[in-house]
Amino acid sequence: MSTRQIEAEEHISPIYRELCQKIGTEKVKDDEAILVSYGFDASVAAFRKPSLVVLPENRGDVREVLMAANREKIPVTVMAGGVNLGGMCVPSEGGILLDFRNMNRIEINTDSGYAVIEPGVIFDRFTAALRKVGFRCHVPTAPGGATPLGNYLLQPSGSLANRHLDSIIDLEVVLPDGLVFHTGSAEYPSENAKPYRRYGPFPDVAGLLTCAYGTLGVITGASVRIYPINESTRVNLTAFDDYASSVKFVQDIVRANIPEHCIIWNWQFYKSYDISLEDIRNLSIPSELYDDPMKAPKGLPYNIVAAFMSGYTEMMDVAEATCARVAGKYGGRVLLWEELERIAPGAAQCWKEFYIEHHQPKTVTYRKYGLGRYAAWIAVAEPKDIAEIEPWAVQKVRDLGTPVMYYSMPFDFGRCMFFRMFSFYDLHNQELLDEVRTTYTEMYHTVMKKYGATPYRYRRDPTMIRQLGSYYQFLKRIKKAVDPNNILNPGVGLFEGRE
């Protein structure tokens, strides 16, 4: 055992005894096998073993942990679903890992259209509970074991991103010194205070905590937006032979307020859904996935735009007719659901789950098992710039020698476009992994400089935020005020700290 490990254990032992006494021995774990199992998440971030794992059951438990850790200057990392792909759940070596799986309560208010959820609630439970009362929520392309709160706090991309990218209304927050507060209407001094409103006459603190990756406060609950399942739900499918035309079509129908949500699916991506789910030990991978991604095989549209629409039946009939007319304007054509089932049956199955049943496709994870470990590259830019970025980015990823897939969608009624690419690689091929990382970094720098594009999420790269100059200096001042001992998730490197 190294000197550092011995010092960490000696330092953590009094905290272990203190927490066992205050919140219960069954909630505090220091068994070696348990600690090792928490040393990584779904990312490729380096393994780091915590010294304690705590499974809180309420806000009071979290508060006790934070105050003890703050006093002893022990780093604390939070984990909800544990499927984070950016390494945000990997603990600091020798620190405390807060696993929120036992904080999983749900309260649904159908009158005002919000639900109060704890961080341990997963999408499978949440979407099922909402469906029972005729409601739905923002659903990402993450697996059903991911957590709504964890996803929404990371700037989500999913089934309502076109109109309602931000699902957060009110947050319940605990700071290292034990201060507990709400960010929205639930904070107002009344025994009947309710979390139905985000904005008030004061600054939007919820926005500050979004995309902070657990570095500015620990979120123990939230009020999030939910939406009724309307009388009629439609998924309008439109086929295009090039990405730029797909973007123009999406811009047009979105600005006309026709769909609630659109996704442009690259042909290799929608074909990847055809990977067999019958036996994951003997997956059948479509041969097309290894063809030239810039040339769709005969009979396969280069892009399919799936436009989700809901409302009354009469409204949907008009909306579909309008989409068909606009598609012709940009060289597209209506794609019937029957044709999709013929050319890409896996996509038909998954999109039914995603759009009509309002939950994550069960095939998402299995598809990735068949192709290998995947790494995502995401950029956001103005529509005309994304249209120029697409062929260049596809070629750059193709040069890595892996299948190339992407999907794209409008944000904020088409004011900008989200573009997410995937490459797949052998997990044991370190040389290829290093090449993927280097290529992605170079691609980010190119599109930021040439097109004014921005990265979508932070990926454990401190140089990213340090480029922002005075904005970064302002954030550091806030960090120093709320977390002067830098105990809140210092391992992600968002702020300069011990690691």
* Per-residue pLDDT at 132 exceeds 80: yes
In order of their start, the domains of the chain are 3-101 (3.30.43.10), 106-228 (3.30.465.10), 232-455 (3.40.462.40)
Nearest CA among 471, 347, 421 for reference residue 157 = 421
Residue 318, judged by CB atoms within 10 A of its CB (0-12, 13-18, 19+), counts as: exposed
pLDDT of residue 362: 66
Averaged over 279-291, what is the pLDDT?
A: 70
- In the block, which residue shows the tokens 């030990």? 281
d(CA 340, CA 162): 23
* Per-residue pLDDT at 498 exceeds 80: no
Please give the share of the chain, as a percent, with pLDDT higher than 70. 89
Averaged over 154-168, what is the pLDDT?
A: 79
Please report which confidence band the pLDDT of residue 221 belongs to, taking 50, 70 and 90 as the band edges: very high
Q: What pTM does this model have?
A: 0.87
Bridge-partner residues for 222, per DSSP?
Answer: 117, 171
Q: Using the Cα atoms of residue 30, residue 31, residue 36 and residue 37 in order, give the sign of their dihedral.
A: negative
* Per-residue pLDDT at 425 exceeds 80: no
What are the backbone dihedrals phi and psi of residue 171, each rounded to the nearest 5 degrees, phi first? -115, 145
Q: CA 117 from chain center: how many Å?
A: 17
Whether the CB-CB separation of 212 and 306 falls below 8 Å is answered with no
pLDDT tens digits, residue range 174-204? 999 999 999 999 998 888 899 999 988 899 9
Averaged over 371-398, what is the pLDDT?
A: 90
pLDDT of residue 366: 45
Averaged over 456-471, what is the pLDDT?
A: 78
pLDDT of residue 87: 63
- Whole-number average pLDDT of the chain: 87
Please report which confidence band the pLDDT of residue 497 belongs to, taking 50, 70 and 90 as the band edges: very low
pLDDT of residue 156: 75
* Per-residue pLDDT at 230 exceeds 80: yes
pLDDT tens digits, residue range 340-379? 999 999 899 888 888 888 877 765 544 444 567 778 899 9
* Per-residue pLDDT at 153 exceeds 80: yes
pLDDT of residue 90: 72
DSSP SS3 for 374:
strand
Lowest mean pLDDT among 44-58, 204-218, 293-307, 464-478: 44-58
pLDDT of residue 33: 84
Nearest CA among 168, 110, 118, 182 for reference residue 147 = 118
Averaged over 316-328, what is the pLDDT?
A: 96
pLDDT of residue 365: 47
pLDDT tens digits, residue range 56-87? 999 999 999 999 999 999 999 898 876 666 66
* Per-residue pLDDT at 5 exceeds 60: no
Please report which confidence band the pLDDT of residue 109 belongs to, taking 50, 70 and 90 as the band edges: very high
